[in-house]
Structure 1
């Protein structure tokens, strides 16, 4: 990832990296991610033969295309528009090839406008904030078991072991009728660290272990790699993607972000002519 520093007052931005791995069981990587100075994204495609990699790559490119270079717009605006484009693009992908019927993806994106950050989220990929050694999940899973926990019908311990814990109630899919993406303000400050990850990590590595690894590994790329390795050591049953970004305070930068996983292959994107060369 290259960038150049431009003049002006100090602003908040991300300095990070990511790692995406197919895991030890799956044949293909259906996860996608993007790491940039003001936007980080993780998307976990579902659908198997129904092209989960197309869904996640298309949604990630849609978010990047919408958000990048719109620093003057409110994070809530660009996140909402990015999610709408992602939904429309996945829907077009299904309409163009009915063999893709059933493809869908999670979408978790964090935008910083230089002063504050907002999370856009749908599905069960996760976003965490690490501050002072304390790890806090700032996204909420859109799953059957999380709804049961929220309604007081299931405790968290049972939810961790429930056979339906992977049943996702909301996603970016081919349905023309969908709920809007969750928009969550995330208070950030220089020195914070954020983690976006697919459930290939969180299904196998508990939050306290994630926190320990994030605290003990200073470099973001090394931290992402260590987290992925922990998931592989624990069985690697799924694709696993981790994006680790430190919040820094300094001059504004203009630079290209990095695409990871399925999103790094334009062949996975519905109508790649419409996306940026990012």
Structure 2
């Protein structure tokens, strides 16, 4: 009998200690229908809005709502393509909403999303919200920040420590909604039992270093991990909204496609079905 993917999930968001409003948003979808779970997997998404109150939170809400629904309506079996198409649809909707309302001109949002299906994790990102994986006690960042400082780090012009305190550390080079088209990066990881994924906004990854994140995730189950991660970010100043989803793989599935690309860049349109058979679990933040 084939192994089925089993997950333990928790999510939490907090306004932090410096911001008057929470412009982050998060969602996860775990299909009730086992056939949908087998075909499309479980989806997790964090979005960090920008553009000010009533703009940034609108952009992040559109992102999580659109990606969560469009991904499951897409009948394509190509998981990376479906995920990218859902994110590109969110980008188009945010861009359109911004064009229709002068008060929301320039609004946008980061987006990091993960689909766990069978024995594989597919992680997509735009902006500087991150995905980490903790395996065998060691943490690594899977996503690559689309930010000015991280591009300098990758070019060898800044160190990681310099980037953390650099004056330009909040400048992102790619976001949803700011342009009519967007490029989405997708990465793949073969799952192992016990793997833990952390999706978070920069309000967490900024104040909380990778070593602290690793220690917390290794010590606690997801429900406790999210609280300790948010608590640590606030202890370290809480300069921004803080959002985290922690997903522990209790048992990895054994369905792994023969060919996996890393990273994947693709485009194109998706076929959208009339109905979604997924159960949607969305946390919409208070205004």
The answer to whether the superposition gives a TM-score over 0.5 is: yes
User: Secondary structure of the equivalent of 1:153?
Assistant: coil
Number of residues of Structure 1 aligned to a counterpart in Structure 2:
254
Counterpart residue number, 1:260: 283
Counterpart residue number, 1:185: 188
Counterpart residue number, 1:209: 212
Q: Is the 8 A contact 1:12 1:190 kept in 2?
A: no
Q: Which runs of 5+ in 1 are unaligned?
A: 1-7, 269-278
Deviations 1:172-228 (A, max 9, x none): 02421x33100111222221110000111111111101111111112x121111111
Deviations 1:143-179 (A, max 9, x none): 1011111112222221121100110000002421x33
- Residue 83 of structure 1 and its aligned partner are, at CA, apart by 1.0
User: Secondary structure of the equivalent of 1:19?
Assistant: strand
- Residue 52 of structure 1 and its aligned partner are, at CA, apart by 0.3
Report matched runs for 1:153-232 at 5 Å: 153-176=157-180, 178-218=181-221, 220-232=222-234
Work out the CA distance in 1 between the residues paired with 2:73 and 2:2. Answer: 18
Structure 1 residues 13 and 91, CA gap change in structure 2 (3 angstroms): farther
User: Secondary structure of the equivalent of 2:283?
Assistant: strand
Structure 1 residues 30 and 198, CA gap change in structure 2 (3 angstroms): same
Question: 1:60 aligned to 40, 64, 68, which one?
Answer: 64
Counterpart residue number, 2:14: 21
- Residue 72 of structure 1 and its aligned partner are, at CA, apart by 6.6
Deviations 1:44-72 (A, max 9, x none): 00111461001111011111012236687
- Segment of structure 1 superposing worse, 86-95 or 69-78: 69-78
Counterpart residue number, 1:104: 108
User: Secondary structure of the equivalent of 2:84?
Assistant: helix
User: Secondary structure of the equivalent of 1:63?
Assistant: helix
Report matched runs for 1:68-87 at 5 Å: 68=72, 73-87=77-91
Work out the CA distance in 1 between the residues paired with 2:67 and 2:81. Answer: 12
Structure 1 residues 120 and 74, CA gap change in structure 2 (3 angstroms): same
Q: Is the 8 A contact 1:92 1:174 kept in 2?
A: no
- Segment of structure 1 superposing worse, 126-135 or 74-83: 74-83
Aligned-CA RMSD value: 2.2
Deviations 1:87-146 (A, max 9, x none): 111012112212101111000000122231211111001100011110110011111011
Question: 1:123 aligned to 112, 127, 150, which one?
Answer: 127
